[in-house]
Chain A
């Protein structure tokens, strides 16, 4: 009798464990739950915007460069309705300097020049992306933007800077990001500039729906 009682309880426990695991994993997969915001210097648009975009990008990826231009247009056109959280997702296995580029961009961001630095990285991608040695361009861009160079260099090696990027990567992994650029527009996934623009065509309708 007692064994049967314990077995029943164990069976129920197994069912509860299974259901709660499944529920949690589904929430994780479909981005249900709070989203990790990016640092302020790589968050764009008003905090109360109805359209929220999370962009996972690699500075050395050509498709990301194309998408960056489109994203700028979207932010300009929908400046009151779109909030962009820029996330790093350096594909270090194919782009050896992506991680360093992301760290440099964040360090420029800490000095208020993230966008400008990111633009330089994208524009001159072919100069540094496949360099055999540590690209000197990262420091050159910092000079060009008149950043505090000693603070910039110190920041690029700091654990907090590197951790922030590693967290972005881990977040992308949880969300199943496996190529760049990947966007999540109000939770909906778009991979590449083409899919982003497809979603963007519906922004007007989406804004109307969200308003009603």
Chain B
């Protein structure tokens, strides 16, 4: 694979992952936080109070990470954090599957509708792949690259 193809792959991965993160975060922030908190509680991993705190913070984190990924600012850090978040979600889904928990809505894209945990886990792993691509090759057409070239000219 030549450099140009890698760059294009990295850019596409960054844009797709950023878009998905913004969409997921937006759907959750315009809905009541309690809705997402109930979805988190269903995983039976965190206590009730922490579920609400997570429901209040995670959607905003997703939006900011999505915006940073699309803009290409702190690109590697954003892709790394997005990957870590996705790995965390995948872990939650996996333990729910193994424990046969009755998850009716995974909460990934708002709590009102969702796919089966198995499908969501598969989707998460795909996104994790995109995060890896964005981490490794996502520098093309980014604010990071723009700032670097600007500094070289100074």
Binding site for B on A (CB under 8 A): 1, 5, 8-9, 12-13, 16-17, 20-21, 24, 27-28, 32-34, 36-37, 163, 166-167, 170-171, 173-174
Residues of B within 8 A of A8 (CB): 147
Interface locus among B7-15, B28-36, B115-123, B129-137: B28-36
B74: contacting residue among A13, A28, A166, CB under 8 A: A13
Asked if residues B29 and A28 are in contact (CB atoms below 8 Å), the reply is yes
Asked if residues A36 and B26 are in contact (CB atoms below 8 Å), the reply is no
Asked if residues B73 and A13 are in contact (CB atoms below 8 Å), the reply is yes
A1: contacting residue among B25, B30, B74, B151, CB under 8 A: B151
Residues of A within 8 A of B67 (CB): 16-17, 20
Q: Mark B54-65, 1 if CB is under 8 A from A, else 0.
A: 000000100110
> Closest residue to B29 on the A side, CB-wise?
A24
Asked if residues B38 and A163 are in contact (CB atoms below 8 Å), the reply is yes
The A-B contact count (CB < 8 A) is 67
Residues of A within 8 A of B27 (CB): 33-34
A170: contacting residue among B29, B35, B112, CB under 8 A: B35
Residues of A within 8 A of B32 (CB): 36, 167, 170-171, 173-174
Size class of B's contact patch? 20 to 34
A145 to chain B, nearest CB (A): 29
B64: contacting residue among A17, A166, A167, CB under 8 A: A17
Given A5-B151, A9-B74, the answer on whether A36 and B35 have CB atoms closer than 8 Å is yes
B68: contacting residue among A13, A28, A36, CB under 8 A: A13
A179 to chain B, nearest CB (A): 19
What are 21 A-B contacts with C-beta separation under 8 Å? A1-B151, A5-B151, A9-B144, A13-B68, A16-B64, A16-B67, A16-B68, A16-B71, A16-B73, A28-B29, A32-B30, A33-B26, A33-B27, A34-B112, A36-B31, A36-B32, A36-B112, A163-B34, A170-B35, A171-B31, A174-B30
Residues of B within 8 A of A34 (CB): 27, 30, 110, 112
